[in-house]
């Protein structure tokens, strides 16, 4: 068994601990030693060997507050000059930043003061400057967890041809790759009706303006047919095509992949250190959940979260006439999009998050349709269509708390007297969440939302068993669950795989992400195999051999279905079948032996009565499945040391002339009512 390397996003000891040569826990805004000593905690910039702000977010807020005081007609000219009394954490990069011309970007949703502060301040501890934007990190395929860690050594080497800092242009010209106008209009409508409601990264007006500037040449302002608009249109076309194609799905996925690869050439222009740059990377990340070979999700979600903090999106803006309801709602939308993406990835890898998972200050955004939200006004009675984001984030809040307690060393909340009481509360919270979604579906009167509510109900049918399997599986907090807990985890692991298989085989046009299903099903496969190996007696007494054999096949079916859209699932299938073979043989031998000999009666306290904590612990299992079970998050068959899916491996396909006819985009679509 190899030792795992603990991955930390950033390490920054404070100046006081560094000077005294003491260990520093690196907490923000102040470390534990400084808090206990009652002194100010000041950071240390190793590149300049000088003190620096301990928290870039707190530093920016203080800097903004000072500028706000100076904001008056008599001091507007002096506002642009940074104060010498406030040390800038980007001083070490001032020469680098001055070496190139910085092109100002429009930022429609951030206060002008925030924009001005971000103009000359960048977090030096990340080694970035205006010349190299924070989020310019996109073409390395997702290395699903490996022994080397989520990020390999060449990722940040700008001289390496496969570096994420060197986006490579794709073959073909922009207009050669884009769909015909009829097909493009269909894909745009699919994105606006189905996709933007789940991840409302852009307002639908912004997407429509970008689309019109490319296809209909209706640019309302000079230069609106920009690299940013081309980037947006390429990726929304790719997302819509990946989810809506009903015929020739593999070709559709390859065509979408080519569109996104083409968009990568504009990353230096669009991945800026402001809110439009954050929106651009969030949009790319949404596509990567559909096609994880495109970029490194772990690295992207970490950088996105840091950008959220640096831009102050993790806090509500004060009530002010200068902050419109439109701006406030957009900031909330971006925060929760970034939060859900990071929490979803970190819970898979069993790692802590950068963004908070408790006491979150940011409210959920409005759920009314974007047609009722404009910069001038809002119509509260508008059609409610953006409920998907809130539903998923409520589940992520429960999931994040469970992972933090069972895997990351967080204590059980004080209001619960025992671990069992806390587990019951988690189960009740999930049950209530599921019941509310089913009740909302039954009460829905909008025919255009029927398909989306059915998708949400299927989502709950997967999420609830997954939480039960997570609670009762072996974990760092509970390394040896009881037999009844192991049985609960086993049964619910099968339900998760079955739910994901139904989702993957659902009607074409439904959004089918592959990153979470592949990881969750592989995790549940290991839970099932370990439970089957440890609890042979209990399984044989409660389930027939035919039922168990069907369960074994469910995981294989699911991996095969996912592999049609992501080849990494084939390696999951191969590894699952390799681990299954000896366990299946062992279980069949147990059944034969059981049929040949009269088994002694079980002790009364080990009967399956439905209680959760009365069984003795199951017998220890052989080392191989336990090792795979414990370390699946840092080494699983979806990873190889060599990238088997090179970015240029796919043959360039000439896009069809008629996209509707080629991919049957309109076939069987439900009509969406006009809002």
Q: Are 150 and 143 in contact (CB under 8 A)?
A: yes
Q: Which of 166-170, 262-266, 267-271 has the lowest mean pLDDT?
A: 166-170
Q: Which of 81-85, 480-484, 577-581 has the lowest mean pLDDT?
A: 81-85
Query: Which of the four pLDDT bands, split at 50, 70 and 90, describes residue 572?
Result: confident
The confidence score (pLDDT) of residue 601 equals: 47
**Three-class SS state of 43:** strand
The confidence score (pLDDT) of residue 222 equals: 53
The percent of residues above 90 in pLDDT, for the chain, comes to 34
The span from the CA of 485 to the CA of 614, in Å, is 9
- Tens-digit pLDDT profile for residues 402-437: 999 999 999 999 999 999 999 999 999 999 999 999
The span from the CA of 66 to the CA of 69, in Å, is 5
Query: Which of the four pLDDT bands, split at 50, 70 and 90, describes residue 319?
Result: confident
- Tens-digit pLDDT profile for residues 196-205: 888 999 999 9
- Tens-digit pLDDT profile for residues 578-606: 999 999 999 999 999 888 875 544 444 44
Q: Which of 209-223, 354-368, 407-421 has the lowest mean pLDDT?
A: 209-223
Query: Which of the four pLDDT bands, split at 50, 70 and 90, describes residue 244?
Result: confident
Count CA within 13 A, CB hemisphere, residue 379: 11
Q: Which of 88-92, 343-347, 609-613 holds the top average pLDDT? A: 343-347
Q: Comparing 76 with 656, which gets the higher pLDDT?
A: 656
The confidence score (pLDDT) of residue 374 equals: 84
Q: Which of 519-528, 533-542, 607-616 has the lowest mean pLDDT?
A: 607-616
- Tens-digit pLDDT profile for residues 144-192: 433 344 444 454 455 555 454 454 444 345 666 777 778 888 888 888 8
Q: Phi, psi (5° rounding) for residue 49?
A: 60, 35
The confidence score (pLDDT) of residue 461 equals: 95
Overall average pLDDT of the 103-111 stretch:
38
Tokens 């807020």 belong to 61
Mean pLDDT of the chain: 74
Task: Tell me the DSSP string of 82-127.
Answer: PPTTS--TTGGGHHHHHTSPPPP---TTS-HHHHHHHHH---GGGT
The confidence score (pLDDT) of residue 583 equals: 93
Q: Comparing 611 with 178, which gets the higher pLDDT?
A: 178
Q: Which of 277-281, 299-303, 541-545 has the lowest mean pLDDT?
A: 299-303
Dihedral of alpha carbons 59, 61, 62, 66, sign? positive
The confidence score (pLDDT) of residue 547 equals: 95
The confidence score (pLDDT) of residue 154 equals: 52
Q: Phi, psi (5° rounding) for residue 102?
A: -90, 125
The confidence score (pLDDT) of residue 342 equals: 94
- Tens-digit pLDDT profile for residues 642-651: 343 433 334 4
Q: Where are the alpha helices (DSSP H) in 351-418?
A: 388-406
| Burial class of 271 by CB neighbour count within 10 A (0 to 12, 13 to 18, 19+) | buried
* pLDDT of 612 over the 50 cut: no
Overall average pLDDT of the 326-348 stretch:
94
Query: Which of the four pLDDT bands, split at 50, 70 and 90, describes residue 453?
Result: very high
| Burial class of 173 by CB neighbour count within 10 A (0 to 12, 13 to 18, 19+) | exposed
The confidence score (pLDDT) of residue 330 equals: 93
546-551, long-range: CB < 8 A, 24+ apart:
548/587, 551/494
The confidence score (pLDDT) of residue 390 equals: 93
**Three-class SS state of 384:** strand
Q: How far is CA 176 from the centre of its chain?
A: 32
Helix (H) or strand (E) holding 227: helix 227-244
Query: Which of the four pLDDT bands, split at 50, 70 and 90, describes residue 102?
Result: very low
The confidence score (pLDDT) of residue 55 equals: 67
The confidence score (pLDDT) of residue 113 equals: 47
Query: Which of the four pLDDT bands, split at 50, 70 and 90, describes residue 664?
Result: low
Which residue in 82, 149, 85 sits closest to 121, CA to CA?
Answer: 82
- Tens-digit pLDDT profile for residues 32-74: 888 888 888 888 776 667 777 766 666 677 777 776 665 554 5
Overall average pLDDT of the 241-261 stretch:
80
What are the residue ranges spanned by the domains of the chain? 419-630
């Amino acid at each position: 068994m190899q030792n795992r390397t603990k991955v930390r996003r950033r390490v920054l000891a404070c100046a006081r601990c560094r000077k005294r040569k003491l260990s520093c826990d690196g907490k923000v805004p102040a470390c534990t030693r400084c808090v206990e000593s009652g002194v100010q905690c000041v950071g240390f910039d190793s590149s300049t060997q000088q003190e620096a702000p301990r928290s870039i977010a707190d530093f920016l807020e203080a800097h903004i507050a000072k500028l706000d005081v100076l904001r008056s007609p008599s001091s507007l000219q002096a506002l642009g000059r940074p104060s010498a009394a406030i040390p800038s954490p980007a001083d070490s990069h001032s020469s680098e930043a001055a070496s190139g011309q910085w092109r100002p970007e429009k930022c429609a949703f951030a206060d002008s003061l925030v924009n001005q502060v971000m103009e000359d301040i960048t977090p030096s501890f990340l080694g970035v400057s205006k010349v190299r934007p924070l989020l310019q990190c996109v073409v390395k395929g997702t290395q699903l967890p490996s022994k080397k860690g989520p990020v390999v050594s060449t990722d940040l080497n700008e001289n390496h041809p496969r570096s994420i800092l060197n986006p490579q242009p794709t073959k073909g010209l922009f207009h050669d790759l884009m769909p015909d106008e009829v097909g493009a209009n269909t894909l745009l409508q699919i994105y606006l009706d189905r996709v933007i409601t789940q991840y409302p990264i852009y307002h639908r007006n912004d997407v429509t303006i970008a689309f019109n500037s490319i296809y209909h040449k209706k640019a309302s302002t000079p230069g609106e047919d920009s690299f940013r608009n081309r980037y947006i249109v390429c990726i929304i076309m790719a997302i819509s095509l990946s989810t809506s194609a009903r015929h020739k799905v593999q070709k559709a996925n390859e065509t979408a992949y080519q569109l996104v690869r083409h968009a990568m050439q504009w990353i230096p222009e669009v991945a800026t250190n402001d809110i439009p740059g954050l929106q651009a990377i969030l949009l790319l990340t949404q596509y990567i959940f559909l096609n994880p070979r495109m970029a490194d999700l772990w690295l992207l979600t970490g950088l996105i979260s840091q950008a959220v903090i640096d831009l102050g999106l993790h806090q509500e803006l004060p009530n002010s006439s200068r902050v419109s309801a439109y701006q406030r709602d957009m900031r909330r939308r971006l925060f929760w999009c970034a939060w859900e993406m990071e929490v979803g990835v970190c819970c898979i890898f069993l790692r802590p998050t950068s963004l908070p998972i408790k006491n979150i200050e940011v409210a959920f955004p409005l759920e009314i349709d974007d047609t009722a939200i404009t910069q001038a006004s809002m119509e509260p009675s508008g059609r409610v269509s953006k409920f998907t984001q809130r539903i998923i984030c409520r589940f992520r809040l429960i999931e994040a708390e469970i992972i933090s307690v069972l895997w990351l060393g967080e204590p059980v909340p004080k209001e619960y007297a025992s671990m069992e009481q806390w587990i019951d509360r988690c189960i009740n919270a999930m049950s209530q969440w599921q019941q509310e979604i089913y009740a909302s579906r039954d009460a829905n009167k909008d025919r255009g939302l029927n398909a989306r509510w059915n998708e949400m109900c299927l989502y709950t049918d997967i999420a609830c068993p997954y939480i039960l399997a997570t609670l009762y599986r072996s974990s760092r907090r509970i390394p040896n669950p009881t037999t009844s807990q192991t049985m609960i985890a086993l049964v619910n692991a099968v339900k998760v795989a079955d739910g994901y298989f139904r989702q993957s085989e659902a009607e074409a046009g439904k959004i089918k992400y592959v990153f979470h299903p592949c990881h969750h099903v592989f995790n549940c496969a290991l839970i099932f195999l370990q439970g089957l190996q440890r609890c042979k007696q209990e399984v044989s007494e409660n389930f027939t051999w035919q039922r168990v054999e069907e369960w074994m096949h469910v995981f294989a079916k699911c991996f095969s279905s996912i592999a049609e859209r992501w080849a990494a699932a084939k390696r999951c299938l191969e590894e699952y079948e390799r681990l299954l073979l000896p366990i299946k043989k062992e279980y069949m031998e147990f059944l034969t032996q059981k049929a040949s000999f009269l088994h002694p009666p079980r002790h009364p306290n080990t009967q399956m009565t439905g209680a959760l904590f009365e069984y003795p612990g199951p017998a220890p299992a052989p080392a191989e499945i336990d090792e795979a079970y414990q370390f699946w998050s840092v080494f699983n068959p979806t990873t190889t040391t060599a990238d088997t899916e090179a970015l240029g491996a796919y043959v360039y396909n000439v896009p069809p002339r008629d996209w509707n006819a080629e991919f049957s985009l309109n076939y069987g679509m439900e009509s969406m009512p006009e809002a």
